[in-house]
Amino acid sequence: MATATEVIANETEIKQAMGVLGLEGLTDALLDEIELDRELAISIAEADRGETFPIEQLEKEVMEKFASGFYGRK
């Protein structure tokens, strides 16, 4: 059985559906949640395969994303 994030076709359809439901203000939060779920699933799969990532590299990438505003709300 497919999960909800696997069934969702694209961002445009999500925005349209949220508009129909009257939840336009929550669209960005929902899209962020879907992306985080996707990234988590990828990370878990990598960990299960024994793939590792040096903590120093992770810290560098996260700090770069914070500095660029990647994690900021719109």
Residue ranges of domains in the chain: 4-68
pTM of the prediction?
A: 0.56
Q: What is the mean pLDDT of the chain?
A: 83
Mind listing the pLDDT tens digit for each residue in 19-49? 999 998 999 898 889 889 989 999 899 888 8
Q: Which DSSP symbol is given to 26?
A: G
Residue 8, SS3? coil
What's the CA gap between 64 and 54, in Å, rounded? 16
Residue 60 has pLDDT above 90, yes or no: yes
- Do residues 38 and 5 lie in contact, with contact meaning Cβ atoms separated by under 8 Å? yes
Q: What are phi and psi of 59, to 5 degrees?
A: -60, -45
What's the CA gap between 58 and 26, in Å, rounded? 29
- Do residues 18 and 30 lie in contact, with contact meaning Cβ atoms separated by under 8 Å? yes
